[in-house]
Chains A and B, each alone.
Chain A
Amino acid sequence: MARDKKDTSGAITRRGLVLMGAQLALVGTLAWRMRHLQIDEAERYRLLAEENRVNIRLLPPARGLIYDRDGTPVAVNRQNYRIVMIREQAGNPELVLARLARLIDISPERRERVLRDMYSRSAFVPVTVAEHMEWESFARVASNAPALPGVLPEVGLSRHYPANEVFAHVVGYVGPVSDYDLSQIEDPDPLLQIPDFQIGKNGIEKRAEPELRGSAGTSRIEVNAAGRVIRELDRTEGRSGEDLQLTIDSGLQDYTLRRMEGESSATVVMDVQTGELVALASAPSFDPNNFVFGISTGDWRALNEDEYRPLYNKAVSGVYPPGSTFKMVVALAALEEGLVDPGETVFCGGSIQIGNRRAHCWRRGGHGWMDLNDSLKHSCDIYYYDIAQRVGIDRISAMANRLGIGLRHDIPLPAVRAGLTPTREWKQQVHGQSWLVGDTVNSGIGQGFMLASPLELCVMTARLATGRAVIPKLIRSVNGVPQFAQEAEPIGLAENNLAHIRRAMFDVSNNRRGTAYRSRIADPAMAIAGKTGTSQVRRITEAERRTGVFRNEDLPWNRRDHALFVAYAPYEAPRYAIATIVEHGGGGSKAAAPIARDVMIRALYGPNPPLDAWPTAMHDEIRERRRLGVDSASVQRSRA
């Protein structure tokens, strides 16, 4: 049957309903999808949207400053004038960079690197073109800004050490965070991820890193899809690092370093009452500022390959056989145990037989009959071979520990190394050998296994001087809050025993026959009490002894003896203790004692010690030294 119009319109309706159903189904699908996105997944997407929008920018805190004892800054933050460039704004970066190179000095390598960095990062990320600029060149760029699109002059902060090499070993230096640092330290501080951020790499800068660093502020900024900053949403200011005041006197430190110049040496000066270290110097030194700028490989190699090891803090990390400076420890141990009487004498004939070996005194002909005082004054070895055997290694080591040797002193330097006070167990454990009498004998004169750092020897001297367990300190105040140095506890040694030792030390320096008589302080009120030491770095063969060839001057530098000297002054009312070592310097009395004495005079009298402090015979020499400027009082400073 033929369909008429009405039928077809009915067909339209039927098919239209099918269509409508299909469309409603699709609408349903869309609605379901909307529900899924906006209810089920809403939380997730909200977070993503927030992430899109908000960038957190860290505001690096100003690093804490470091001052010396008197408030002279030794580590400061200097404005770092730098030029950054943003590719997006530069238009033609090559052209702009070429123009910039006409204004300031940019090496072709640097230029290439800048371009590479710019193209490898997003177009809106600033790339540093030049840093640590002179104000003049910085100003030149700034005034030419209109011709340099995308070039931004910026002022940041960078570390500067005004005292240059004087505090290098104490304060250390900062440097950019390396991948190695990141792998070594477990520090979640996001600041470390900032490309230009610097952390302490050495010295106090390294040990007091958390205090000095402070904490980052944050700025939450809204960015658009291109990463461009739209506005700052909020900002939390960080906390700048804490300022540290050291116990070190920069004047004395400077003098000490200059006095040691030319030698591989170290000197530690300590206030015996408080334990405050007023000088801690290791020579030769280096300029930490070179590290902040990024040291060149050539300079680095020069520093590293130097035989005198300028990078090494010998004052706290150098451990040496203490030699005769150790004799006080042995003597005191014997006295405390009642194993020796101060008046008792031992005969020194130059050598004694111990077991099947022969032990020699440094003086081939021997000293004759020696009591305690004489033994220290002349630094007789035989006496100590004898009493060391009586006391035994364990008690010697225990006394050494009590006096501060062989223990790691907790001062905020990274490289503090403990010396070594051997015991029977120690030898068995480390060397797998049993302790021999010969070991005890060697230890009795501070040789053999015995090791101590200049810091430890200084502590030892301070403890002998005061009878108290003085603890070394390097930080005087933190953010202006004094770190009170409590008076040290008495060490628990009999005062009369200590008096014998002190008297002997006084004689070492002030008795005409004392080994350090030439390095005395002339003024009786400031009299120094000390002990020389000469420690062997090689074994002297029997053959050498027979032929008598062991003059240090005939040996290559690195096989010569170390020269040591420890002292305190004034004898009557001790104020400072000092320990000096001159590596391979030969005899303690000749190489180390004069340095220690001069430093002590500088410490006691201040910047301009009177000529009278020195023995009359030395006045001409001192005058000459002053004329040459060696003893000038000023602290060398770089321009701030």
Chain B
Amino acid sequence: MVKKFLLSVLMCLIAFSVFAAGGQESSPAEDKAVEEMVTLDFWSWRTEDVDIYNNLIDQFREKNPGIDVNFTAYKNTEYNTVLSAAIKGGSGPDIIHLKAYGGLETYAQPGYLMPLDDKVPALKNFSENAVRGATSISDGKIYGVPFASQTLVIYYNKAMYKELGLSVPETWAEFLANLETMKKAGITPLANGGKDGWTLEVLQGVICPNFYGANDYFADLTSGKTDFTDDRYRTSLEKLQELRPYMPDNFMGIAYTDMQMLFINEMAGHFIGGSWEAGYFSAQNPDMEYDVFAGPVAKAGDTRYASAFLDGSFGMNAETEAPEAAAAFLSFMASSQAGQYLADNLKQKSDVPGVQFTDPYLKKLGELNKNSTPYIMLVGFRYEQPTGSSLIQSTLQGLLADSIDSYEVVDQVQEGVATWYKPFK
């Protein structure tokens, strides 16, 4: 008796769940309305910029009423994993926010991306440097619409400079003198720490090019004329050790967010980082006055270089069911309207031709970019494992913690990159 009762309860439950599932399905009339509308999925790692992108998508929708775009942002550190799992599983988005250089190659080489050369005509107007990061090294085709480039700079607190009577340094000696003055005044001169290895790669990108001979060395290195054990590169790394006395106490435990906090709360006078920080700095502390300068040079009169790189691009999934709609959206992203909107709102240096920088900060970046040099590891050595970036990040931690010297740093980087980089073989 009890058994029969239990069985009937079970049957009821099953029946109920079947009906409940059926109830969620939409009626045929609704389906028809949806059919006329093409919905594109657009994935990104920019969780900070969701509102800005949604706003931009609204502008696109006004011009293209038949196309809807659904923007989803994943956490930066998980984006690669989520995206590659989805693409492999055949459920990737139509529009993909792509990282540049090696990050693009991950998806371009196995054929997961649609070449855009003839799909987005506006790409022809982009500068060669801008599309480099969105071009596959294997077939030379363009797979993305570049959206912004980044410059590596030194931020300084203007109020502190005024109070201490400092001026923007040109040479390394002047820079160190400024740091020393700050330290004596009881202010932590540099916000930079070493817990997150990638912030050290940025540090290297700001300081070292003016010591290793910027573009000349980069050309020699990528053509295989020289390698990482070159004294020019090795001695440039030793300059980073000279900055240690001016970093916060126990700086090896200072993570990226601690660095930002130190600068935003005006507890540190300088922040050596990338141009992408500005939007966040201004949003967190609108009262703070800051400006940027490029890494100092060895002696007065030298050309002053700043490392620059393409931050990313917008690409199209090769498997998309709506290639025309996706192409329309990417063409919109390549238009000066979208470029101008993103530049104005993200405070990022747009690569879209014809964008006017009204913001003084972006104007300054434009000036610094007149003498730009490729951000060495990202532009040149992030195409296979182990990437030059992952090697330099960890070894710089070793260097700054004094557990290895500059010779060991360059030996390890060289040995790692040589396992896959043909010109070194």
Instruction: Say whether A and B bind each other.
Output: no
Residues of A within 8 A of B (CB): none
